[in-house]
Amino acid sequence: MKFFIDTANLDQIREAQALGILDGVTTNPSLMAKEGITGQENILKHYVDICNIVEGDVSAEVISTDFEGMIKEGEALAALHPQIVVKIPMIKDGVKACKYFSEKGIKTNVTLIFSAGQALLAAKAGATYMSPFIGRLDDISTDGLNLISEIRLIYDNYGFDTQILAASVRHTMHIMDCAKIGADVMTGPLSAIEGLLKHPLTDIGLAKFLADYNKGN
Ligand code: E4P
């Protein structure tokens, strides 16, 4: 299972990278704005800064909603750095753009997936990754994890190569449940990843080992 961090915050990306378990980064226009990164030039520079911190794939989202615009933007993003994955919205022109990029060998991440039907289309269009938003489904009392299970079943039925990138992960149990279902990738905040570390018996056990060691010294 690949671990991506879902942020545009360079300090958090550095921290996750230093942990040695990071496989990539996802961003979106809202995450960029949250870090105060605005304007095309600054946004493009920020993507390159992120690529220079991590070794894996970095999703960079197009803001065009028409085919020609997405192609122009996506090609410019892909030319920025070999680690860039072009992130495309799940709309009609997005499906066409995904097919275009997949034929050109440019990696894609089809985003804003909320149904198994959308996931099937993304795979048919040759997406590298597709991002079902589990937290946003949970927010409206719909089971986000159930969507991951449905997509896993469909992709396995036909041997699709498209990777299920569980997105909108909000907490540590989302990561564990996605791992059990078999999501290929999860993207979430650093806090959710660090939650995997925690167990009180680890802390108690370590304190006892150190105390016992110090008795003899
Ligand atoms: C990732 O690609 C998405 O942009 C992100 O996970 C959305 O998360 P949110 O629902 O917490 O905003």
Atom number in ligand 1 closest to CA 167 = 6
Give yes or no for residue 57 CB within 6 A of ligand 1: no
Give how far Cα 147 sits from Cα of 26, 59, 132, 154, Å: 20, 22, 8, 11
8 within 8 A of 27, measured Cβ to Cβ: yes
Distance from Cα 72 to the centre of ligand 1, integer Å:
24
Helix (H, G, I), strand (E, B) or coil at 129: strand
Provide mean pLDDT across the span 131-135: 98
State pTM to two decimals. Answer: 0.96
Distance CA 30, CA 16 (A): 20
Q: List pLDDT tens digits, range 20-66.
A: 999 999 999 999 999 999 999 999 999 999 999 999 999 999 999 99
Give yes or no for residue 111 CB within 6 A of ligand 1: yes
Distance from Cα 187 to the centre of ligand 1, integer Å:
8
Give yes or no for residue 7 CB within 6 A of ligand 1: no
Residue 216 has a pLDDT of 75
Nearest CA to ligand 1 atom 8: 168
Atom number in ligand 1 closest to CA 109 = 2
Residue 11 has a pLDDT of 98
Nearest CA to ligand 1 atom 10: 168
Distance CA 101, CA 95 (A): 10
Distance CA 33, CA 35 (A): 5
Give yes or no for residue 187 CB within 6 A of ligand 1: yes
What ranges make up the beta strands (E) of the chain?
Answer: 2-6, 24-26, 57-61, 84-89, 108-113, 129-132, 163-166, 185-188
Nearest CA to ligand 1 atom 4: 28
Confidence of residue 217 (pLDDT cuts 50, 70, 90): confident
